[in-house]
Amino acid sequence: MNYSKAQALERMKLGNDSDRRDFFYYLLKAKDPETGAGFSTPELWGESNLLIIAGSDTTSTALAASFFYLVHNESALQKVSKEVRDAFGDLEDIQSGPKLSSCTYLRAVIDESMRLSPPVGGLLPREVLQGGIVIDDKSLPAGVIVGTPHYTIHHSPDYFPSPFAFRPERWIAESTPSVTAESVALARSAFCPFSIGPRGCIGKGMAYTELSTALARTLFLYDMRLAPGMTLGEGDRDLEFGRHRATEYQLKDSFTSLKDGPIAEFRRR
């Protein structure tokens, strides 16, 4: 938060006299159509938090999770590497566009990684208002904080068979006999790494572009594997229940997610 605030202050000192047409150029220029007032300093700090923290930390976690699950699942790594290398002949061709969007297994790897280890895994808190509320036949008084963690939804067997298994195929209809258009649609209905509705993540499209481009370029340039003897990011059977699965990338909820690892090795093709 302090870093974000400091960056905002530095940018505000530049004002709009420079040639930089970044996000803050438009924020500093914006005026309320009724009052003519611009954003206050606290509001600009808030926008800085959104752009720096929400716009980078979450993408970092999703990319790290993708690396973790690929180096722990050799068949998926080989399949997605082949898809990318068959689709592109040159590194500079890997950019946002129809060809990158046609890499369906690449997208499935990203989605399955975010399903298993969502960058924002906790609940989006809501306070019960005066008069209370009934949720799932339970009466809750005013003032209680309620919510359903994304992690919980993403691991519900009602939507995701074998919920703790890394299976990118679950996102591609007819990829296996058990995956149908209906099962994919059901999974999509419960998939919420960016939240849902009008308050869903404003940067969803940008995040997918960043993730797809970064992962595809890495796979195009390098063979990779889990560094021998390294277990950073893995669960352990001696840890508390829920962190006992070695095949699950471990995150710590801090609204966004804290994480360590994985440690991977890369070899240029």
Which domains occur in the chain, in start order?
Answer: 40-268 (1.10.630.10)
Question: Contact, 251 vs 257, CB < 8 A?
Answer: yes
Is the model's pLDDT at 132 over the cut of 90? yes
Is the model's pLDDT at 17 over the cut of 90? no
Mean pLDDT along residues 147-166:
96
Question: Contact, 43 vs 75, CB < 8 A?
Answer: no
Distance between CA atoms of residues 46 and 32, nearest Å: 17
Q: What integer best gives the mean pLDDT of the chain? A: 93
Is the model's pLDDT at 15 over the cut of 90? no
Q: Over the stretch 198-220, which tens digit does the pLDDT of each residue have?
A: 888 888 999 999 999 999 999 99
Report the candidate in 70, 109, 108 with the shortest Cα–Cα distance to residue 223. Answer: 70
Q: What is the pLDDT of residue 7?
A: 86
Is the model's pLDDT at 23 over the cut of 90? no
- Residue 162's pLDDT band, with cuts at 50, 70 and 90, is very high
Is the model's pLDDT at 53 over the cut of 80? no
Is the model's pLDDT at 63 over the cut of 90? yes
- Residue 2's pLDDT band, with cuts at 50, 70 and 90, is confident
Is the model's pLDDT at 54 over the cut of 80? no
Q: What is the pLDDT of residue 18?
A: 64
- Residue 88 structure tokens: 């592109």
Is the model's pLDDT at 12 over the cut of 90? no
Q: What amino acid is encoded at 262 in this protein? A: P
Distance between CA atoms of residues 19 and 88, nearest Å: 35
Is the model's pLDDT at 144 over the cut of 70? yes
Question: Contact, 110 vs 58, CB < 8 A?
Answer: no
User: DSSP string covering 168-215, please?
Assistant: GGGGSTTSSTT--HHHHHHHHHH--TT--GGGS-TTHHHHHHHHHHHH
**3-class secondary structure, 83:** helix
Q: Which residue has better confidence, 199 or 169?
A: 169
Is the model's pLDDT at 238 over the cut of 70? yes
Q: What is the pLDDT of residue 171?
A: 98
Q: What is the pLDDT of residue 191?
A: 98
CA-based torsion, 148, 153, 157, 162: positive or negative? negative
β-pair partners for 145: 127
Q: Which residue has better confidence, 86 or 12?
A: 86
Angle at 91 between CA 108 and CA 213, to 5 degrees: 35
Q: Which residue has better confidence, 53 or 141?
A: 141
Specify the DSSP element, H or E, that contains 86: helix 74-87
Q: What amino acid is encoded at 74 in this protein? A: E
Q: How far is CA 81 from the centre of its chain?
A: 21
Q: At what angle do helices 74-87 and 58-71 cross, to 10 degrees?
A: 110
Give yes or no for a cis peptide into 262 (omega within 30° of 0).
yes
Q: Over the stretch 91-124, which tens digit does the pLDDT of each residue have?
A: 999 999 999 999 999 999 999 999 999 999 998 8
- Residue 44 structure tokens: 């600009």
- Residue 13's pLDDT band, with cuts at 50, 70 and 90, is confident
- Residue 37 structure tokens: 């007032």
